[in-house]
Amino acid sequence: MSKKEVTKEDILSRMKKIEGQAKGIQKMIEEDKCCGDIMIQISAIRSAINKVGGFIIDSYIKECLKESLENGKGDKNIEEVIDTIVKYVK
């Protein structure tokens, strides 16, 4: 069973949805909605952004790093990937 490749368009679509969620939270705050409901929406955005970040790291490793290894520049890029992942999980 193969995993569907995530395209640039997929990522941009997800980012637009996240943008809509953020605007929804702004409206909820303006309308003095329940803090618990706002926190649930913030959690949903956090989860969605983490998913997008995972897709981008996956793509970077599969495409950019693979190309670097083939061109003999892998060591430097492996360090960059590690640094990026460490920053991402903070």
At 9-68, the pLDDT tens digits run 999 999 999 999 999 999 999 999 999 999 999 999 999 999 999 898 888 888 777 777
pTM of the predicted structure, to 2 decimals: 0.76
Sign of CA pseudo-dihedral 34, 12, 52, 14: positive
CATH number for the domain whose boundaries are 9-89: 1.20.58.1000
pLDDT of residue 3: 65
Name the one residue in this structure whose structure tokens are 């909605």. Answer: 33
Q: At what angle do helices 8-30 and 35-59 cross, to 10 degrees?
A: 160
pLDDT at 75: 74
> Which pLDDT belongs to residue 47?
95
Burial class (CB in 10 A: 0-12, 13-18, 19+), 6: middle
